[in-house]
Amino acid sequence: MSTPASNQLFDAYFTARSMREVFCDQGRVQAMLDFEAALARAEARVGQIPQSAVAPIEAACRAELYDFAALGEAIATAGNSAIPLVKALGKQIAQRDAEAERYVHLGATSQDVMDSGLVLQLRQALGLIEADLGRLGHILAAQATRYAGTPLAGRTWLQHATPVTLGMKIAGWLGAVSRSRQRLQELKPRLLVLQFGGASGTLAALGEQALPIAQALAGELHLCLPEQPWHTQRDRLVEFAAALGLIAGSLGKLGRDISLLMQTEAAEVFEPSAPGKGGSSTMPHKRNPVGAAVLISTATRVPGLLATMFSAMPQEHERSLGLWHAEWETLPEICCLVSGALQQALLVAEGLEVDAERMASNLDLTRGLVLAEAVSIALAQRLGRETAHHLLEQCCKRAVAEGRHLRAVLGDEPQVGAELSAAELDRLLDPAHYLGQAQTWVERAVAEHFALNA
């Protein structure tokens, strides 16, 4: 619900609208009400409450019936969102059926409502994130294949190293996406579970019907029933947060690479252009990497939020004071930030603009020095490693000092000429012939991606 005090100026930039809808006030309230309606159905199924009470309870479990502003005010006194919501729910039910009101929330505690409601929200969030990761994987697989043989300077310690290919770089991004998809699949059975323990986790208020009700409730919500309630065992949520943190970091890596390749001095790869995108308020020529900025920003912000989730793990005894509360806005915010980064990554990856000629030109900035290793290895097989390395080191120094291309210096060096022909030197100093297994890495990353979709 939007109010004059809402802070929405940056939402479109940092958060996907679909994810914000999951974690907006209505989304939170509806998830808790879904728990209450399912609890009534489960308890009626095993005979704990009369079947006649279910319909009035279900009819009141609609978020649009409640005043979120009033709930917000009540939370400040109650200490959590479930207490005032259950009270308001009881009033709604009593207006229709005073008898049914007696059976609402029977045997549950406020944390059951909030945690199970959160899990229902996380299931939606997980679906959105998985879908976006899958789409991003498809795009990156296509781009990696397209540019599998396009050479560009490898860069180590921000300096030109031996050549790589753009496809290999993209395949690195793709591999990280695939691993994140695998992690999310693996954690689902641990994350998507019911929270239902009552006051202290024993469900004592429900007597012998406790386990049958818990089983029925899990079935109603399509969640797994864990081995026991997890009120103060928060590893499930923290594992999910950590997986999201890894996604944020991997997307940040993508954004960092793109932003560096977009620098004026490199100008090799660009985010897609669009009217009004990436401009400056004063400099008409600017083309700023606005998508990459979100990816880097998210990778910077999420670790601090993740630290909060880890810090909140040592919760006291059977129900926590303060540490549980620290999770309420933290995990949803992580979900929202990652969703926004994924939206930007999809836009950037699909619309990549590549200047292969600039890549080739940049590869030659050092006048052949980036391929000195290739010549050194070839000579090592004839002169020995130490001799060859020393010889190439001297030739490289001479090329720099004289401002000449390494090919020319090597051509003038008798010791080199005695071992390598002009044609051999030309081949050794051609970046396209020193790409190693770059093509193989692309093929393997793409194959792994498609295996996840099989």
As a whole number, mean pLDDT of residues 197-225 equals 97
Q: pLDDT digit string (tens) for 25-48? A: 999 999 999 999 999 999 999 999
**Structural domains in the chain (count):** 3
Q: Which residue has the tokens 């926004």?
A: 340
Is 19 contained in some domain?
Answer: yes
The answer to whether 399 and 406 are in contact (CB under 8 A) is yes
* Res. 10 pLDDT band, cuts 50 70 90: confident
Is 16 contained in some domain?
Answer: yes
401: domain CATH number is 1.10.40.30
pLDDT attached to residue 3: 45
Q: Radius of gyration over alpha carbons of the chain, in Å? A: 30
Whether 6 has a pLDDT exceeding 80, the answer reads: no
147 and 222 part of one domain: no
As a whole number, mean pLDDT of residues 278-296 equals 74
Domain that holds residue 399: 369-428
301 and 441 part of one domain: yes
218 and 175 part of one domain: no
* Res. 11 pLDDT band, cuts 50 70 90: confident
The answer to whether 23 and 79 are in contact (CB under 8 A) is no
Is 1 contained in some domain?
Answer: no
407 and 454 part of one domain: no
332 and 392 part of one domain: no
Q: Which string of DSSP letters, residue by residue, matches 77-91? A: HHSSSHHHHHHHHHH
401 and 380 part of one domain: yes
263 and 306 part of one domain: yes
Whether 2 has a pLDDT exceeding 50, the answer reads: no
Catalytic positions, written as ranges: 280, 319
Whether 1 has a pLDDT exceeding 50, the answer reads: no
As a whole number, mean pLDDT of residues 113-140 equals 98
As a whole number, mean pLDDT of residues 110-138 equals 98
Alpha-carbon distance values, 276 to 13, 280, 285, 295, 353 (Å): 14, 9, 12, 19, 17
The answer to whether 82 and 111 are in contact (CB under 8 A) is yes
Is 377 contained in some domain?
Answer: yes
- pTM for this entry: 0.94
Q: Which residue has the tokens 């945690």?
A: 115
Amino acid at the residue 294? V
67: domain CATH number is 1.10.275.10
As a whole number, mean pLDDT of residues 267-293 equals 74
Q: Round to whole Å and give the CA distance between 89 and 113.
A: 13
Q: Round to whole Å and give the CA distance between 71 and 345.
A: 37
20 and 157 part of one domain: no
320: domain CATH number is 1.20.200.10
Is 17 contained in some domain?
Answer: yes
Residue 436: left if φ>0, alpha if ψ -120 to 50, beta else—which one?
left
Is 362 contained in some domain?
Answer: no
Question: Exposed e or buried b for every residue in 274-291, given b needs 16+ CB within 10 A?
Answer: eeeebeeeeeeeebebbb
Q: pLDDT digit string (tens) for 352-401? A: 999 999 999 999 999 999 999 999 999 999 999 999 999 999 999 999 99
295 and 261 part of one domain: yes
166 and 39 part of one domain: no
Whether 187 has a pLDDT exceeding 60, the answer reads: yes
Is 409 contained in some domain?
Answer: yes
241 and 222 part of one domain: no
Is 4 contained in some domain?
Answer: no
246 and 265 part of one domain: yes
The answer to whether 439 and 146 are in contact (CB under 8 A) is no
